[in-house]
Each structure stands twice: as C-alpha cells, then as structure tokens.
Amino acid sequence: MNKRTNNEQTSKWISLLTSALVTAVLITLLTGCDDDEIRAYQSPKSDPYSEPKLLIGMDGMGGMDGMQAPASTSKNTIGWHVPDDWIEDPNASSILTAAYIVQGETGDARITVTKLGSGGGGVLANINRWRGQVGLDPIESIDAQEKVSVQVDDQTCDLIDLVKPENAGQTMIDRMMVVMLPRPQDGLTWYFKMTGSVDALEEHKPAFITFVESIKFGVEQAPTEPNEPASAGDAGE
Amino acid sequence: MKKVTLWLPLVAVLLSVFVLVRPIMPKQTVGAYNLDALGKLPVSAGGRTKPLDSVARNSLMIISDRQTATANNQRISAMRWMADVISQRPETESYEVFRIDHPDVRSLLGEVPDKQKRFSFNQLLMHSQAINEQLALVRGIDPKDFTIYQKHLMELADHVQMFQDIRHRLTPYMLPPLSPGENWRPLAPEMVVVEGHPDPSVAAQYWKKILDAYQQQNPQEFNQQVAEYTTLLNSDMPAVMRKAKFEVFFNNLQPFYQGTVLYVLAFLLGAIALLASNIKNGTLAIALRRAMVSVIVVTFIIHTFGLAARVYMQGYAPVTNLYSSAVFIGWFCVAMGLFMEWLFKNGLGSCLSAVIGFVTLIIAHNLADGDTMQMMQAVLDSNFWLTTHVIAVTIGYSAMFMAGVISIVFVALAVHGQCVSEYRGRVLATLVGASLFTLVAIALAIVLTLFAIPQFAIRSVLLLTGYTSLFYVIFVGAVYLLSLLPWRPDTSEVQKILGKMIYGTIAFALLFSFVGTVLGGIWADQSWGRFWGWDPKENGAVLIVLMNALILHARWGGMIRMRGVAVLAVFGNIVTAWSWFGTNMLGVGLHSYGFMDKAVIWMLIFVGSQLAIMTAGMLPIDKWKSHPTQKRRQKAAAEAPQTT
Amino acid sequence: MNKSIKKALAPIASLKLTVLLFVLAMILIFVGTIAQKEIGNWQVVNTYFRSLWLMMPIGIAGIKVPFVGGYTIGGLMVINLIAAHIVRFKLDEKRIGIILTHAGLIMLIVGEVLTGLFAVEWQMRIEEGQTVNYAVDIRSVELAIVDPSPEDHDDVVVIPESILERHNNGLTIHDDRLPFDVQVLTWMSNSSVLAPRFAPPDGRTNPARSGLGRTIQVIPAPPVSGVNMNGLDAPSAYIRLSKKGQDLGTYLVSLNFEFIADETRQAVTVDDKTYLIELRYVRDYKPYSITLIDFKHDKFIGTQIPKNFSSEVRLVDPTTGEDRPALIYMNHPLRYRPLNSRGETMYQSSYIGDTTTVLQIVRNPSWIVPYVACAIVSIGLATHFGLMLIKFVGRARR
C-alpha cells in the first residue's frame, strides 16, 4: 500500500518536474537568440571581380519566382536598338520578352518579342496558325509561303508578311509581319512580330526591319543612350 | 404477402442493373461513319495518352459546358463534333458551342436573345473587332487581378484558341510514337507534307486518308481507313489500344452519372419505406428497406468500379485532385453508411449513404472541368507516403462529413420533437423572426450595394447572417411542415442510436485525420526535409484533428452531451469544407476573391446553412418533447397534484 | 499531501482548459492561414506559431487585438496534459491508448519547438558547371563588404538585415571592422525594378550616384504572400558610404541584381584599396563544395507540367578527402556529414530556368522526434478507438 503510494508520488513528481522543465526551456527559447550583430570573417577566395554589365533584353524578370525566374546566364543575352518613336508597352504580358507600341498616321502597330523553347509545334504549324489568324488558308509546305530575307546578327532569316485577303470576313488580326529566328545553340526560337492594320504595317515596315537588323546576340554592353535597349519593367510586381 | 420482401428488392436490383447497362448496349449505327471506332483511336493531350473520344468530350465540356454540341438546332455527339472539326468541315463554324455566361461579354456580340448561352464561331468572328479591342485592354494584367468580366473574357479567348488548335490539328497530339525514340507529336506539320515527302510517317498517312474521306463524305473509305489504322495500332501498341478502348467504355458507361441516378432511386425507396413504416403491417416497409439497401449495394459496386477504373487508366492513387477527392469522399461515406446499416439494420445508414453518395457525386460533377485525370507535377508524383497520406486524409474528411450529416438528421429529429410538443408556437415564432431577419439582411445588402460599400468583412458577415437566417427558415420550416403530417413516431430511441453513430464516427475521423496529417508530414520531410511547414493545406488538416479532439474532450469533460456533440459535429462540416475547399480559394487573387466568385459564394452558402442547423440544434433543450428529461418531467407533472 | 497537490492542480488539469486551448489553437491556426494571403509563410510562422503572443488582425478596418501565440498554447497544452495525468493518474488497460496518445502529443509539441529552435534550412543555387562552397538562407539578407586583397582568402564583414532595417531613413552604421561608414538612406524589404524608360512614380530623382544604381532604379513592393509558394522577397537599399566625412558615393544595393546584371558586386575604392559591396542572402560557408555536372528536367509531352527533375553533382571535401559523384532527385536526397559537424541532407527543391538547380540543405537534429511521436500517437489512438469499436460492434450486434 505504502509502496504504491510512493510509486505514484514519484511519478507525479517526475511529471511535475517535466512540466517545469518544458516551461523553462520554452521561456529560454523565446527570450534568447537573436543574432543581429555585425560579423567579420574570412571566406574562401571568390571569383575575380569584373565591372558589372546589365543583361539586357532578358526575358522573364517576373520577380524572384523560384520556379520561373530565368537563369542569369550570359549566353542567352540579346540586345537591340529601339526606334525612337516606339513606346514600351507597359501592359505587356509576362510571357513576352518585350512589347512596344508605335503610333503612326495610318494607325498603331504593336511589336512583340517572344522566346520559345524549340517545341512550339514546328515552323509550318506556326505559319499555318498565323495564316488562320488573318484569314488565309493553310499551306502544305513552307516553300509555298512568300517571304523576304533579312540579315540578323550574321544569320539570314525570313520575314513573313501575312495580309488578310479581300474576301475574308472579320478576322482576329488584319496583318502581321513575323521574323523567326532559330537559335539551335540555345535550343530556342525567337519570334519578332508586328501586328496592326494593313496600312499601319506598311508605314512601320522599314522601322521594323531596322529594328530586327539591330538585334545582336551575346552583347555585353548596352548600346548607349538614348537608344536604350528594352529591359522588362515588371520585376517583383 | 411475405414474398414481397423477396421480390421487391429483386425488382429494384434488376431495375438498377438495367439503368447501368442501357448506355453501353450496342446501338444501331446512327450515321454511315463509324465514329465509335474513330473515338477509340489513341491520341495524347495534357501529357496523357487517351482515346480521341475523351478529348472530344473534355474539350466540349470546357468550351460548351456539356458533352454534346448543337448543329442546326440538332444535338450531335461529341465525337461527331470532333470529326467535323478535325476534318475542317466548314459547317463547324456555325455550330453553337462557345458558352458565354457573363452578360457583359455576351453583349459584345450585339443584341442576342437572353436565353442564348452558346454561340458559333461565325458569330464571334462577326464581332471580333469588339472582342479584340476588349482583349487588348486585358492583355498584360496579371490573371490574379482579373475582374469577373475580364476572367470570362479571357476564358472565351482561351476557348477560341482551343477550338482553333484542334481545327488546325495542333492539339491533341495525334501521331503516336511508332518507332523507337519517337514521341507523340501533332498532326499539323506532317499532314501537309505527306504528299511528295520521301518518308512520311505511317500514322500521318492514315490520318490524312481518314480525314480526307470524312471531308469528301465518303463513309466507306473512311470506315475502311479507320479499321486499317486500328489494326495497325493494335499490332504495334496493343497495351495503349487496350487502355484507350477501356476508357471509351468507361466514358460510355458514365458510372458516376448512373450512380447519381441510382442514389436518388435508393433515397426515394427509403423515403417511401419511412412512410410505409406507419402502416400497421410492417412487411411492406421491410421490403422497401431491403430494396433500398440492394440498390445501394449495386450502386456502391459501380461506384467502386469507377474509382478502380480511374486508378487503372491514370496509374495514380485514387485521389489526385478535387474532383477525385469528391468521388472518393462519397465512396467512403457510402461504405460507412452500409457498415452502419449492417450494424443497426434500421435503414438509417442506407438513407445516409444515398444522400451523401448523391450530393458528393453532384459536387464532383461540378468540379469537373475538362480532363479529370490530369498528370501530376513531379513533386506530387506517385510515392508511398503521398498516396497513403492523401487516402488517409480523405477518409478523415469523409468521416467528418458523415458525422456532420448524421448530426443534421439528429437535429432535425430533435426539432421535430419540439414541433409536436406544446412549444410548437415558439418554433413558429423563431421562424417568423428568422424570416424577418432574412428580409432585413437582404434590404441591408441592397443598401450596401447602392452605396458601394466595399468592405469585404462587413459584406461577408451580412451575407453570412442572411444565409443563416434563410436556411434556418428553410430547415426548421421543412421540419415544421413534416410535423403537420399525422405521422408522429417516437424518435427518442432513434436519437440515441444516432448519438452513438456520431460519437463513433468522430472517433474514427480523429484517428484518420491525425494519421493522414502525420503521413503528410513524413512525405514532406522525405521530399524536402521539413516535417511541418504551417502551410495552408497542412493547417487545414490539423484544424480537423483539433475539431475532433475538441468535441471528444468536451464530451468527456461533461461540457456537452449528445446534443452538443451533434451541434459541434455540424460545425465540423464547416471546418472540413474549409480545409477541403477553402484553402484552395486562398490562392485566388484579391480582386476576383472579391464578391462574385462562385466558389466563395458557395462556401458562404454552405457555412450559412450549417450555422442555421446549429442554431436550430441549440434551441433550449428542456423544451424538447423527445428528450428523456422532458418526458420524465411531463410524467411527473401529470402525476403531481395541481397547485394553482 | 497527495490530496492537496491534486486540489492545487485541479484547475490546470481541467478538461475545460483543454477545450479552451483547442478553441484558441483553432482560431490561431485559422487566422494564421488567412494571414498567408498577405505576408510570407515564414513571417506567419514566426509571428503566429513560434511566438508567445501577437497582435492579431480581426479583418475589419485594420483593428488588431492581442492573442496568444503558438508557444503559449503549446506550452499550456503540455502543462494541462501532464497535470491531468497527475490528477487522474490510473494505469489500466482502458486508458493505455489515451496515455500513449498524450505522451506522443507532448513529444510532438516539444519536437516542433526543437525544430523551430535548432533546425536550419539553407539553399544552394548552382548553375551547370559551377562549383559552390556555401549555402544561403533565402529568408534573410546581409550587406557584405568584401576585401579581396589577401592572396588565399577574402576578408568579409557582413551587416545583417535587422541592423540595416533599424537604420532606415538616414541613420549611419559605424563599426571599427567596417572600412567605411554606411548610411542607410532607404531600406526596402521587397522591391521591384523600374524599367529604364519609366520615371519614378513620385517624380523623385534617382538617389544613386555611383555603381549599378545609376542605370537601375528600384521602387518598394508589397511583400510576397505565403500563398504564393515560390515567390521570394527581393530587398533593396540605397546607401551612402563615407569615410571620416569624405563622401564615397551613394549606391543602390539590391537582390534584384541577380536577375539583371552578370556581376552583383560593386566596387568601392577607399584610399586606393578596392572593396566589393553586395546585398546578398546570408551565407554559410561549407567545408565541402558541390559542383553541378548536369541538371535534367523533363516535362509531360505537350505540356508545361514538370515530370521530373534531377541534379547530377560532385561533392568534394578536402577535410575528409571525399570526392564523389551523386544524383539528387525527388525523394532521393544526398546525406553528408562534414568533419566535426552534424549531418546535412540535400534535397532537390526547385530549379531556375533550364540549367540552374536549387538544392535545399537541411540540418535538423530533432528530425526523428516527430516520427517517433506520431508513431506513438497513432498506436495510442488506434488502440483506444479500436477497443471502443470492438465493444461497440459487439453490443450493437447483440
């Protein structure tokens, strides 16, 4: 009888002690440790310093989104001159690398720059998709598409000009000009696209071609002002 | 006479089997084209290999919110629509398939009849300028910040894009990997180069012939090419073909849709049984109850088959998204109901099964948007801990809802008892009060809207109290009307059984929600070294555990009794709904979270209804005629000498 | 004696207190979940769950009321539990399940406290081909002033975020170890980059006169919410450096540089000596280094849904002489125990672009506690309710 009470008492005291201990630990934890002080230490040698360069025309910039943020590799850098009267489109969606709006006498045109992985459905499929958007019939082979050659950074590419046919009713887009620039070494294809009314595109065509021809890959230094290259503007928002 | 207990259930079973088998019975071919065979051809969409039939149904579901299309005032099947679209028949542009719900988006199409909800591609094209202007305004806005109008507008744009992609044969990927190293690819690029191409892919050649034959209205050629292509695939990729064929069978069977119908049938049988129990001769009631149980068993089997089929087709655990969790919760609740039926043999468990089975399948149906069998992200990929975690947590949800639903029945019976006592007048008074309050709430809501007071908190509190009083009127009113019937059973015995059921189910729910939560922790620890991160989903799970623990401890401490347990279990419904749905709503941006969001409204309605039932359950207990203490008191009062 | 203890303990052992604590815990967790719409998960955990008390918003007009924090509730739960078992101590078959459950629960609560105190989570971001010998704490930043002149090492002085924040609005940080004084003109706990062509919204002029800040401007941004699982804050600061009254220039330091410049450090020259300044995630240098050989990342065909991702790495530790390849992928972490240190586990956590892997490095000495605790609770619950069910079914079938 007596022994049992003893046992019971011992266990109670143990429990009490435990609870006291837990409380004590909790209190210490909560009051202690806040390492806010200046520290000095030696670290292993870091990479040699070089004057910082802006990675211009980089896509994405959608804040610091862990999954989506672009790699800060310099090999994908691209730069271009923006004609003076082009305005950066502040409402560009995040998948666009850059977007500009240009106003003219015959109407506005919108210029977009997109970078897609090598997938994207193939060249012909894309051409047919665009043809569908302006109300043209699909073509059976790429050769059937009329195109003009343009020189981009020592690379010859095709400029495709798609115009809505007379007899087509309402279409999503009246006219579009596209330059497709494959970069197999990066596994990417760049798309430079101008859309707008038939006349407006005629008016802005020379500027568009100048713009496309100003494109340079692997540029290290931004072209000097005032022709500042595009840098997306929505980081972190 | 006794035989009725045998043949009635038998008839019920035969009837349900007939309901099930009807959709898969071979039909006479409707048209000359063998579209069934075309539907069984495998394609790849959303990263999953599936029959074209599934793509047709899912795409129409997304674009049109139903599985059929309207062509020249005629209903056509999803596969007919698909065949017309991919063979680029011009008349598809006049099919009225694009569903537009938002009136302001609809008004972009000019004057259209109010009734018209679905529009043709041509109609959209005619107003493309207006639509494009509006789209240009939306472009660049973060989808999280969309208003409802913008959301609907973008949805329409997505649907048009989807239609165009299908028409241009960019999605689904129709060319299968027939030689090693190949992958699924779209048909479009190869379709046009087939002619003159030195080595066109075999599949592309067949597709070209099939689609050309369809376009040129040559059924014989079409059927022959489909058959030949099928034979080729059967020999080259038999496993894929087997699965595709099975999936088409599953699509036609629609086990969950049939399940919904049968659960209603079962519930009706149960309701009649309840009424029949009033008849002196109990044989009919027993026969009806048996019939109900047999129908539920048949439905449960088909429900189980549906779940198993999804596991087979998808290769994942049964619960992968909200849709499948609803199906699973329903399934498990039905299982629990049948177990209770086996325990108590009083028809209650089956009735609950029927109701919950029906409701959850309806919820699942509304959650379905396109393919309900999506591929899972790498982080969520099949893994032992994740699988067990999801199943355990979902079982926890199921048990919680089961306890909640039983509690609602409990409260209904209690209120019924009150309505047949001398206190019915007071019940009526609360009804009048609640009705008035509902009106006041509506008036206030109108005032708030007029003065454009945006305070989310104020408006949701107002809406919530409004819904609560409204549901109070509905719930108590319905019970009150029932009490007017001559049928006045003594429900105190039933209430006791219900009390036990609630208690047992809550204990079960505690066990499974705890184990499920823990398994989630283990999975997280295995995946990224953090056992517990206090993220919304984890918090939702632990809230359920706490709710269960709260109910049980309050009961053990004598703070509440049967009634209190029931009322708190109804609150448990709210907690469960929160962790099941609510935590998902958190991800929605602030603006669309605002007021019109459908999910938020449904959540508020649900919470309001549960609060109303809780209120009904908390009417003062000593006024309950059915309550034992009240009975004793009445008895004592009857025996005691009159004092005044 | 015995009775008096029981009497004294009775109030804190009461089930009413238990239920009250459950209610408080549910409110805390619910509000703590809602709060993640506005502020980051990590901040919520620290304010709500790993705290004694807090000011809790009630959702109307920004009113806040004091409320008990997670540590208080957890502590009281433990005390309540232990007291209850002292007062109602009885060891019999019927209660074995309950005792097990409660013992496990105490372990679980203590385990969470220990994790909060001693576990550390770091990240390593490595580009293909790159070798990294430090991990970063993505939850806090520091201003590093590096003297790269010594031959075999760098001399580093770091100013933690908390000090920078405290000196916001123009206060000056002076310390003998610093080569110059740092005046914090503006501190932004999250910021976004202003496109070059856009003028600042308030019409102010660019404060920065030196370094990268001349071409890049930033503006404050609201904190990234906890609901957005992948988002991270990008703090920035405008700082003016000076030595003995001599102005060394006004600089912009920002975590945003990582995404817009190839070199995130900026050079500051004082008395012909060049220092490198950089706002960066707090670093922890490791005795070992990790080289990313290859990062693989597959998507389901025709979709953007990631199917799997894996990092092929090489681990080199001169102190132990270890030099080995390893493959880190989902649910297959790399475990490593450096010399004179506790073991670390490296998980494949995420990725940036197509070639940069993000590894999560965790050191949690109490990781085993929740496993054991949960096993005990589960057994306890299963025992208790299992016995209950058997009894119940038995009675109902009779």
CB within 8 Å of chain A, chain B residues 76-135: 125-129, 132
Cβ contacts of residue B64 below 8 Å, gap of 6+? B97, B98, B99, B118
Q: What is the DSSP string of B189-236?
A: HHHHHTTT-SS--HHHHHHHHHHHHHHTT-HHHHHHHHHHHHHHHHHH
The shortest C-alpha distance from B132 to chain A (Å) reads 7
Average pLDDT, chain C: 85
Measured between beta carbons, the chain B residues lying within 8 angstroms of A172 are 128, 132
What is the residue type of C13? A
**Mean pLDDT in residue range C303-309:** 77
CB contact at 8 A, B619 and B418: yes
A–B: how many Cβ contacts below 8 A?
A: 57
Name the least confident of B79-93, B110-124, C68-82: B110-124
The C-alpha atoms of residue C375 and residue C381 are separated, in whole angstroms, by 10
CB contact at 8 A, C33 and C85: no
pLDDT tens digits, residue range C39-65?
777 888 888 998 888 898 876 667 889
Q: Structure tokens of B122? A: 């041509």
The minimal CB distance from C350 to the residues A33, A67, A70 is found for: A67
Task: Answer whether residue B589 shows pLDDT above 60.
Answer: no
pLDDT at residue number A170: 66
The pair phi, psi for residue B280, each rounded to 5°, is -55, -50
Task: Answer whether residue B26 shows pLDDT above 70.
Answer: no
Could C300 and B47 be called an inter-chain contact, meaning their C-beta atoms sit closer than 8 Å? yes
> Which residue would you say has higher pLDDT here, C157 or B131?
C157
Could C381 and B514 be called an inter-chain contact, meaning their C-beta atoms sit closer than 8 Å? yes
Measured between beta carbons, the chain B residues lying within 8 angstroms of A141 are 192-193
Question: Highest mean pLDDT range out of A194-198, B511-515, C223-227?
Answer: B511-515
pLDDT at residue number A97: 67
Could B550 and C14 be called an inter-chain contact, meaning their C-beta atoms sit closer than 8 Å? no
3-state SS class at C51: coil
The shortest C-alpha distance from B192 to chain A (Å) reads 4
Could B188 and A91 be called an inter-chain contact, meaning their C-beta atoms sit closer than 8 Å? no
CB contact at 8 A, C79 and C110: no
pLDDT at residue number A227: 28
Q: How would you classify the pairing of strands C236-243 and C217-220?
A: unpaired
The C-alpha atoms of residue B411 and residue B618 are separated, in whole angstroms, by 9
Q: Which of B518, A82, B112 is nearest to C111 (CA)?
A: B518
pLDDT tens digits, residue range B193-239?
545 554 567 888 899 889 999 988 899 999 999 999 999 999 989 99
> Which residue would you say has higher pLDDT here, B506 or A81?
B506
The shortest C-alpha distance from A73 to chain C (Å) reads 8
Query: Given CB atoms, is A12 within the 8 Å cutoff of chain C?
Result: yes
- Which of the four pLDDT bands, split at 50, 70 and 90, describes residue B24? confident
CB contact at 8 A, B306 and B256: yes
pLDDT at residue number A221: 31
pLDDT at residue number B566: 95
**Mean pLDDT in residue range C318-323:** 89
Q: Structure tokens of B484? A: 């007017």
Residue of C nearest to B593 (CA): C37
**Mean pLDDT in residue range C140-161:** 91
Measured between beta carbons, the chain B residues lying within 8 angstroms of C49 are 534
- Which of the four pLDDT bands, split at 50, 70 and 90, describes residue B381? low
Name the least confident of B234-243, C4-13, C155-164: C4-13
Could B528 and C388 be called an inter-chain contact, meaning their C-beta atoms sit closer than 8 Å? no
3-state SS class at C278: strand
Name subunits touching A (3+ CB pairs < 8 A).
B, C
Among residues of chain B, what percentage have pLDDT more than 90? Answer: 36
pLDDT at residue number B474: 94
The C-alpha atoms of residue B480 and residue B616 are separated, in whole angstroms, by 12
- Which of the four pLDDT bands, split at 50, 70 and 90, describes residue C230? low
Q: Is B161 exposed, middle or buried (0-12, 13-18, 19+ CB in 10 A)?
A: middle
Q: How far is CA C77 from CA A15, B395, C74, C84, C376, in A?
A: 14, 27, 5, 10, 18
pLDDT at residue number B352: 92
From the candidates B87, B93, B121, B125, which should be mutated to test the interface with A, based on the most A CB atoms within 10 A? B125
Task: Answer whether residue B83 shows pLDDT above 80.
Answer: yes
The pair phi, psi for residue C36, each rounded to 5°, is -70, -5
Measured between beta carbons, the chain A residues lying within 8 angstroms of C275 are none
Measured between beta carbons, the chain A residues lying within 8 angstroms of B126 are 169-170
**Mean pLDDT in residue range B601-620:** 89
B343's enclosing H/E stretch is helix B322-344
pLDDT tens digits, residue range B169-180?
888 899 998 888
Q: Which of C263, C295, C285 is nearest to C341 (CA)?
A: C285
pLDDT at residue number A138: 79
The C-alpha atoms of residue B352 and residue B476 are separated, in whole angstroms, by 20
pLDDT tens digits, residue range C11-43?
888 899 999 999 999 999 999 988 887 777 788
**Mean pLDDT in residue range B379-397:** 81
The C-alpha atoms of residue B474 and residue C33 are separated, in whole angstroms, by 32
Q: Give alpha helix (H) positions in C119-186.
A: 161-166
Task: Answer whether residue B369 shows pLDDT above 50.
Answer: yes
Query: Given CB atoms, is C344 within the 8 Å cutoff of chain B?
Result: no
- Which of the four pLDDT bands, split at 50, 70 and 90, describes residue B74? confident
Measured between beta carbons, the chain C residues lying within 8 angstroms of A36 are 160, 162-163
The C-alpha atoms of residue A53 and residue A222 are separated, in whole angstroms, by 8
**Torsion on CA atoms B417, B418, B423, B429, rounded to nearest 10:** -140
CB contact at 8 A, A78 and A57: yes
Residue B52 CB: number of other CB atoms within 10 A?
A: 24
Q: What is the DSSP string of B67-126?
A: SEEEETTEEEEHHHHHHHHHTT-GGGGG-EEEE---HHHHGGG-S--TT--EEEHHHHHH
CB contact at 8 A, C285 and C154: no
**Torsion on CA atoms B394, B397, B402, B407, rounded to nearest 10:** 180
**Mean pLDDT in residue range B519-545:** 86
Q: Give alpha helix (H) positions in chain C.
A: 2-13, 15-34, 41-44, 70-87, 93-118, 161-166, 257-260, 368-397
Q: How far is CA B622 from CA B493, B612, B619, in A?
A: 17, 20, 9
Could A121 and B126 be called an inter-chain contact, meaning their C-beta atoms sit closer than 8 Å? no
Average pLDDT, chain B: 84
CB contact at 8 A, C290 and C348: no
Task: Answer whether residue C199 shows pLDDT above 50.
Answer: no
Question: Highest mean pLDDT range out of B22-26, B408-412, C319-323?
Answer: B408-412
The C-alpha atoms of residue C395 and residue B504 are separated, in whole angstroms, by 13
> Which residue would you say has higher pLDDT here, A87 or C247?
C247
Task: Answer whether residue B583 shows pLDDT above 70.
Answer: yes
Contacts of C335-343 with C-beta under 8 Å, sequence gap 24+, read C336/C288, C338/C286, C338/C287, C338/C288, C339/C287, C341/C287
Task: Answer whether residue B82 shows pLDDT above 90.
Answer: yes
The minimal CB distance from A170 to the residues B128, B186, B188 is found for: B128
**Mean pLDDT in residue range B365-377:** 79
Could B547 and C59 be called an inter-chain contact, meaning their C-beta atoms sit closer than 8 Å? no
Q: Is C4 exposed, middle or buried (0-12, 13-18, 19+ CB in 10 A)?
A: exposed
Tens of pLDDT along chain A (237 residues) come to 454 555 556 656 666 676 677 666 666 655 544 557 888 888 888 888 877 766 543 333 323 222 222 322 333 456 677 777 787 776 555 456 677 888 878 878 888 887 765 444 567 777 877 887 787 887 877 777 888 888 887 777 888 888 888 776 666 678 889 988 777 666 567 788 898 888 888 888 888 988 888 877 654 333 322 222 233 222 222
pLDDT at residue number C152: 87
Q: How far apart are the first and last CA of chain B?
A: 55
- pTM score: 0.78
